[in-house]
Structure 1
């Protein structure tokens, strides 16, 4: 399996060097059986993860419009038990959020012990959109890069597993998706005029995302560049990465607090 991890600063990093059509030489049929096993394994691991309450898992999904952040949660994480699984969406900050520091609205949305939380967009929007539209200068942006690295290090030091996925699509793929949203009545609701406006800044977004990934990929919290033109491959790689991270924790169900024989005796007496 190819390595899609970016875990150290690389000033020469560029998304142009990654092919959004890449499937690592695999076909959908090649991974169907394994994918189904991964779904089963994820459900099993989540159950132990929730019961053990030793760690927290934060999954961050970033990508251009139409990259499939919603569908990744719907498909790759379809086996998640709602008990212990949360999804947080971060839209344009409201006035109250703007009156605080940019990480204020984020921290209390991170997972508690035993929980898995998926961020559909995240605090990385605050070092991306303002830079693309020149509302914040680069000095502030690079200062935020350092702050984000420290924030993620703090989360990791407090037993949070941070998995960051960039869903990498091509400009042509996005065009097809936007066209489909306009032509299909059942998908009209997904279309936003804002998507067309932001599409005009495609090249600038690619540059800024490259800087984000280069500056904010660390050993503790690396970025994963996920080729996402093929949805099945995107879901397979993301689920495989999540399952591997959870397996590496080697968690076990916590023992019963008390004497089982005494509890059984009391239970039998209550028949």
Structure 2
């Protein structure tokens, strides 16, 4: 691979969320601030949404790593679970023993006892669910019932939902309005702008051990931004491919042609047709001309 060629110790643009590469984009920092504020204030439901590849799982892992010690966490990364499976998954995470034929009543009693024991020990429990848009409607309702467990002053269980925008669509359904009303803190992740993308790429190379000049120039990063639209995952995919192409030609930096080839090789890059901007200019002009013509014709007809 290109590690020795660029003087780095590990691959800087892998797709696995790695908190050691956390850059601290403004949108990621703000999301973490919202999460920490909400959890410290004892809110029942918190929601973070973002498009595919914008860093939800990375923030989720960052949160798990940095929560204060008094938080007991239960983490469910794959929530495509029916209500029964979800109950058992939560019970397993909290080390609650259930019988094979445990019904909802037994689960509620045992989980509540566990939560009360944790609360008496001065700790709080937070359930973190990644890819929450995959939760069936019935399981989302189970989530709401979880947060009914409370003392006179505080929820015994807080729930953080990470999901794609489809989660918002699901929560907009009338049968989930009670759950929707309980989400008191939410945040929607933004994509990177062009300048953030440039510094993001430099940061990842630096963490990987690179100490030279720019491997990705601002000109190349502009091409990268156009294709990736500022989505971190797509930036990683394209940078990795571009580095391999530069290495193959013995170059010490990525050229524009390398990035263009990487983009061409990536199915997920939906490049806008050339001169698409003309469409956005032409349509309003045509509408304006048509409107003037209509008024002229009708005005002439009236006279």
Q: TM-score range by the shorter chain?
A: 0.3 to 0.5
TM-score (norm 1): 0.33
TM-score (norm 2): 0.30
